[in-house]
Amino acid sequence: MSAKRAERLVNLVIALLGTRQYVTAARIRAIVPGYEPDDGSARADEAFKRMFERDKAELREMGVPLETGRTSVFDTEDGYRIARADYELPEITLTGEEAAAVGLALRLWESAQLAGAAHSALVKLRAAGVDVDADRALPVQPRLDSDEPAFEPCYAAARDRRVLQFDYRRPDEDTPARRHVQPWGVVAWHGRWYLVGLDLDRQAPRAFRLSRVVGTPKATGPEGAFEPPADVELSALVARQAGGEEHLVVVRARPGGAVGLRRWATPLGPAEDGDDRLQLRTTEPWRLADQLAAYGPDVVVESPQAVRAAVVERLTRLAAMGEGA
C-alpha cells in the first residue's frame, strides 16, 4: 500500500469516527484529503467512485466496522460511519514490568523506518479510540546513538539500584570530574541518551549526557541500595536541564491534513480562508522547520518569520533538486 493511500485511509477512519451521523459519499469527498476533487466532470466522478469503493473494501478487510445507513427518513442517499463502540480497543492495563518493557522498547527505536512506524501506530491508536496524552507521550527520536559505551553500565546500575561512579566532562571543563550518582534511569531526549539520578556530591537531581562520560562507569555497593522518587519524571527533568528557550510557532493546516502534526498541536480555531490554525511549542525551531517542510502545501507557517523563512528555504531547495533530477 502506498503512503498516500495509507494516509487517506487513516484520514477516512478519523473522519468517520468523529461523527454519530451517517456521512454521504459526497461529503466524504469534500472533507477527506486524497480523493479526486469534484470538478463537475464525469471522469472525476468515476475516479472518485473507484477510489472510494476500493477504500471501503480495504477497511472492511482490515476489520473496521464500516456501517451503511441513513441518519433520518428524510435523507435521499446512504451514508457511512464507524461505530465507535464496535471499533474501540478494550481498556489496556499493564503491570509495572510490562509498562517498563514498552517504555524501553519505544526509547530504543532508532531508525527512521521504526520512528515512522511508531508515529503511524500512535495515529491508529487514537483513531481506534485510545486516549493518547500528547503531554506525556514518549518522544520517539530517529537519531539515537545505539553504540554509547556508557549505556549498558548505566542502565544496569539503574535497574539494580546500585550507586554509580564515573568521570564526566562538561562542555566548559577541560578536565573530567568524578561523579557519584544514584541512577534513577536512562532516558532519550531529542536524539541523545541521558542518565538521570541523584548527584551525591551535590545532593541534587541531575541529568548527565552519556556522550560526555569518560571511560566506563562503575557500579559500587549492594543492589537495592536506594529507591528513586515515586513521582519523578525523567524526561521532564532532562528537558528542564538540557532544554533551550521555548518557541511558539503558529501554522495554518488544510482541513483533514497534517494528521501527525495535529497530534501534539494546540488548536487556535479556523483561519479566514477556512484552514485550521495550530500552535506548536518547540525548543528546536530549525528541526521543526524540517518537519513542517515535509508536509508541503498542507501546512503554511504564520509566525515567527524566521521559521517561515526556514521552511520556504527548505522547500525551495527541494524543488530545485527535483528540477535537476
Over residues 118-177, the pLDDT tens digits come to 545 545 444 544 444 443 433 334 344 445 788 889 988 998 999 999 999 887 677 889
Q: What is the pLDDT of residue 106?
A: 52
Quick check: 300 pLDDT over 90?
yes
Indicate the average pLDDT of the chain: 78
Q: What is the pLDDT of residue 265?
A: 85
Q: What span, in angstroms and rounded, lies between the C-alpha atoms of 98 and 106?
A: 12
Q: What is the pLDDT of residue 140?
A: 39
pLDDT cut 70: percent of the chain above it: 75
Task: Kindly indicate the confidence band of residue 94, based on its pLDDT and cuts at 50, 70 and 90.
Answer: low
Quick check: 86 pLDDT over 80?
no
3-state DSSP assignment of residue 249: strand
Q: What is the pLDDT of residue 234?
A: 81
How far lies 203's CA from each of 160, 181, 198, in Å?
Answer: 21, 9, 7
169: Cβ contacts below 8 Å, ≥ 6 apart: 175, 176, 177, 212, 214
Q: What span, in angstroms and rounded, lies between the C-alpha atoms of 20 and 245?
A: 43
Q: What is the pLDDT of residue 143?
A: 40
- Which residues of the chain form beta strands (DSSP E)? 23-24, 66-69, 79-82, 163-168, 177-189, 192-199, 204-209, 213-220, 247-253, 266-270, 276-282, 299-303
The answer to whether 249 and 305 are in contact (CB under 8 A) is no
Over residues 260-284, the pLDDT tens digits come to 788 778 899 998 888 999 998 876 7
CB atoms near residue 300 (< 10 Å): 17
Quick check: 3 pLDDT over 80?
no
The structure's pTM equals: 0.38
Q: What span, in angstroms and rounded, lies between the C-alpha atoms of 73 and 172?
A: 74
The sign of the torsion formed by the CA atoms of 123, 127, 132, 134 equals positive
Quick check: 111 pLDDT over 80?
no
Q: What is the pLDDT of residue 62?
A: 81
Task: Kindly indicate the confidence band of residue 237, based on its pLDDT and cuts at 50, 70 and 90.
Answer: confident
Q: What is the pLDDT of residue 21?
A: 84
Q: What is the pLDDT of residue 219?
A: 94
- All three cell numbers of 10, joined, read 487513516
Q: What span, in angstroms and rounded, lies between the C-alpha atoms of 237 and 204?
A: 12
Over residues 21-51, the pLDDT tens digits come to 888 988 888 888 888 777 888 888 898 899 9
Scanning 68-150, the segments in alpha helix (DSSP H) are 84-87, 96-108, 112-127
Q: What is the pLDDT of residue 303?
A: 92
Burial of 214 (0-12, 13-18, 19+ CB in 10 A): middle
Q: What separation, in Å, do the N-terminal and C-terminal C-alpha atoms of the chain show? A: 25
The answer to whether 74 and 27 are in contact (CB under 8 A) is no
